[in-house]
A and B are shown apart, each in its own frame.
Chain A
């Protein structure tokens, strides 16, 4: 990749490459999981309900709002799933494709009322609604749209001849309870620490150390039933323990944990 451009013998200003923006994604909560459950249900039911649909897949659960494109007449259904308010959005192109699969031919443009009701019925079946359950389509000036901050999941249906239809599902993504700032904290639990077990030390004059030789004996602890050691991470003591052995390996058995334990 060129990062320094030279134009007509002159040095041009280097511009920082545009990097993909990173967004802070909230952790998938109950609403997100409900949406995922719904997506799986639709995935299972779609090939059975729409015969021409050869493969179905769903995208990730993302926290993004609904963006309406003025040039496309999206149809939006509002319903309750898993006790949560949800929206299903079908764009104009996908509606025509879906309709073509269902009726087996090119639909009218724009679709007739009958064709629209056929699509609505199919959506109802995809969402596993019983025949007597109501699925309200939001229409007209008072139409409701998915919230700006919503969990979303796209379901893509593909026919054998390569036609695609997309269903978008949304449910409200509640503000993440976070304080004091909008920051996702790293999970540090897998970070490895290096621990040392040492005998409680003592101080002595350098001259004494200088006199050490093979055979010298240094008294460390007064008579006790067990030998106490400190377990340290860096200079911080995290536990005190008794020294022991298990199957010939040296071990410590913790007797006190925390940085405030007495020495």
Chain B
């Protein structure tokens, strides 16, 4: 009997997203949020964004615009897995 390998799981569907920033706010502040409110995030405008797969940071990349104006992420680093990686 052979063990599973990644190829065997290759068709599993996973959720991919990109974390553009974090912030903290009190419940009072959040309750006062309204359209037009500007919320500062903890990143510089040009900072790379982590790419999350099912909530785990797998890579980082830069936000880029494609020729047709679509938003994309250009991966610049694949993160090395370690057991201490925090869930994003």
Contacts and interface: CB of A to CB of B under 8 A. Distances in A.
A120 interface: no
Interface stretch (A96-104, A130-138, A247-255): A247-255
Given A188-B27, A192-B24, A207-B10, A213 B78 contact: yes
A256 B35 contact: yes
A123 interface: no
A206 B11 contact: yes
Interface string B57-85: 01101011010111111111110000000
Contacts of B18: 198-199, 201, 220
Contact of A249 (B6, B45, B61): B45
A199 B64 CA distance: 13
Interface in A179-196: 188-196
A248 B45 contact: yes
Nearest to B37: A254
A203 B73 contact: no
A257 B38 CA distance: 12
Contacts of B12: 205-206
A251 B64 CA distance: 17
B14 A203 contact: yes
A229 to B, nearest CB: 6
A189 to B, nearest CB: 3
B27 A219 contact: no
Given A188-B27, A193-B26, A204 B70 contact: no
Q: How large is the interface on B (under 10, 10 to 19, 20 to 34, 35 or more residues)?
A: 35 or more
B33 A210 contact: no
Nearest to A249: B40
B1 interface: no
Contact of A253 (B36, B45, B73): B36
Nearest to A247: B45
A245 B45 CA distance: 6
A188 B27 CA distance: 7
B10 to A, nearest CB: 3
B75 A251 contact: no
B13 A254 contact: no
Q: Top 7 nearest A-B pairs by Cβ distance?
A: A223-B69, A201-B17, A207-B10, A189-B28, A245-B45, A221-B71, A199-B18
20 contacts: A194-B22, A194-B23, A195-B25, A196-B19, A197-B21, A206-B11, A206-B14, A209-B14, A209-B16, A212-B51, A212-B58, A213-B78, A218-B51, A221-B71, A241-B39, A248-B46, A250-B20, A250-B21, A252-B39, A257-B37
